[in-house]
Amino acid sequence: MLRLLKNACLLSLLLLPLLALSQNNEGDFFVIKNISLAGNNVTKPSTIYRELLVNVGDTIFPDDDSFEKLRQSRENLLNTSLFNFVDFSWVDEDDNGKVLVVDVVERWYLWPYPYLAYADRNISSWLEAKDISRLSLGFDLVYSNLFGLKHELGLTVIGGYNQKLAFLYDIPYLTDNQRLGLSVSSGYLRDKEMPFMTVDDKVAYFNGGRDFAQKSFFTSLKPYFRFGYRNRLFLELNYYDRSFNDSILLMNNDFASNSDIRYFSVSAVFKNDYRDDHNYPLNGHYLELELTKIGVGIFDDEPDLFYGKLTADLYFPISGRFYWASNVTTRLSNTTSAPYFLSQGLGYRNDYVRTYDLYVVDALNFALCKNNLKYEIVKPVTKHLPFIKNERFGKIHIALYANVFFDFAYSWNVPLHEGVVSKMANRWLFGTGVGIDFVTYYDKVVRFEYGFNGLGESGFFIHLVAPI
């Protein structure tokens, strides 16, 4: 009996530290007993659940990657562009069980966006022309959450200087595993004016007068595949039927092989996206690799051009209110004989050196680097507008950033177009300056910049998208 008592005491001494450890860790973890949704009046629960990296039954520890999964889940939901706000909270269910409450503020999904466009590459180019008649008016009618499943239906109607009628239908998830999506689009456009030549590294426009400079029909089929939550592969097949004014080919023999041209293009685009906010990121990275073949040998006289394009973005906080952003973009092609209407290099879309807004470089190959040092003047803050009762509009977020930028680029492999000499190709281009970025809800960004370029020029510039 005494021996049995001694063994019991010894066993208790061995178990006491384990019992103490267990008591000390009580409450340090919990189990997700349920996931509750709030605010999704239109959006189906499945659309929200598929963006979550946690599930019912998961054990949440404060010292592992559980809370990182919750943070990424919130980013996933915000980056669907279905919600203005997303908040997570916990409700106790029992001693070690909690309910995850996902509270969303939905956007307004049906928008008749008014369309006011200028017949130029950017606002600065249009202001330089000082011709108000070169405006086009219309609307984009977009339903971005059809059936509550993130289906997007779009209709574009534009009249005036340049005209367009087009539609888009996008289904992000066709299969039960929610990995396959499909986008289809088609449209017809008529442009009164279009670029037909580059003179002194500036675009020269042809005006068709009573006729149109270009008439074009296009259709696109784009299946895409989702791998995990941050990786997507897009396969795109495009068909174009384009008719150019005969005068354009007389003025520029290298513009196109003939005035009526049909061709297909195929593209494969891989995207790796770890940005915290797609529209104005402050942390994370983005990688995009594109391979495009224009002309596949079906029609006579169709263009023959192949290029690869790599885009890499990096964002990170430095200290306090300071942030850094960098972009590297490079494009490589297989020819110097591309027709002019496909020879768009630096200066188009978002591939430009800031402060060179008025210039283009028709080089098929280029390397571009953009850099931003940002200071957070006004931290992202949520405001309630008392005179607007609808939460979709009356609850807004705003932020304001000052930035210093420095961009540089180099381009080569200039198409051999008769009489065209580029002073900016095969040389380094530099641009630097300061700016103010205003960021608000519904993915709106307004940028005001003042800078200097390597030509000794300076200027004030306005843009409506983030530079990087």
Residue 205 CA, distance from chain mean position:
29
List the one residue out of 174, 152, 181, 48 whose CA is nearest residue 106.
48
Domains along the chain with CATH numbers: 28-106 (3.10.20.310), 110-367 (2.40.160.50)
Write down the pTM of the prediction: 0.83
Q: What's the pLDDT score for residue 4? A: 44
Per-residue pLDDT of the chain (468 residues; tens, 9 = 90+): 445 444 444 444 334 333 333 333 444 678 999 999 999 999 999 999 999 999 998 888 876 677 788 989 999 999 999 999 999 999 988 777 899 999 999 998 988 777 666 555 555 555 555 556 667 778 889 999 999 999 999 999 988 778 899 999 999 999 888 899 999 999 999 988 888 988 889 888 898 777 889 999 999 999 999 988 899 999 999 999 999 999 999 999 889 989 999 999 999 999 999 999 988 999 999 999 999 999 998 998 899 999 999 999 999 999 999 999 999 999 999 887 889 999 888 998 899 999 999 899 988 899 999 999 999 999 988 887 777 777 677 778 899 999 999 999 999 887 766 666 788 888 999 999 999 999 987 778 999 999 999 999 999 998 888 888
As a whole number of angstroms, the distance between CA 112 and CA 105 comes to 21
**Tokens (6 digits) for 288:** 């995009």
Tell me the residue type at 225: F
Burial of 362 (0-12, 13-18, 19+ CB in 10 A): buried
Alpha helices in 275-382 (DSSP H): none
As a whole number of angstroms, the distance between CA 37 and CA 29 comes to 22
CA-based torsion, 299, 302, 307, 312: positive or negative = negative
C-beta of residue 62 within 8 angstroms of C-beta of residue 90: no
Task: Give the SS3 label for residue 56.
Answer: coil
Bridge partners for 448 per DSSP: 436, 462
Residue 40 CA, distance from chain mean position:
25
Alpha helices in 283-356 (DSSP H): none
C-beta of residue 110 within 8 angstroms of C-beta of residue 342: no
Q: What is the dihedral of CA 292, 298, 304, 305, to 10 degrees?
A: 0
As a whole number of angstroms, the distance between CA 411 and CA 366 comes to 4
As a whole number of angstroms, the distance between CA 439 and CA 381 comes to 11
**Tokens (6 digits) for 258:** 């003939």
DSSP label of 419: T
Q: What's the pLDDT score for residue 119? A: 52
Q: What's the pLDDT score for residue 115? A: 67
What is the phi/psi pair of residue 320, to 5°? 60, -120
Instruction: Output 203-209 pairs: Cβ under 8 A, ≥24 positions apart.
Output: 203/120, 203/121, 203/125, 203/360, 205/119, 206/245, 206/247, 206/248, 206/251, 208/245, 208/247
Q: What's the pLDDT score for residue 83? A: 93
As a whole number of angstroms, the distance between CA 159 and CA 136 comes to 6
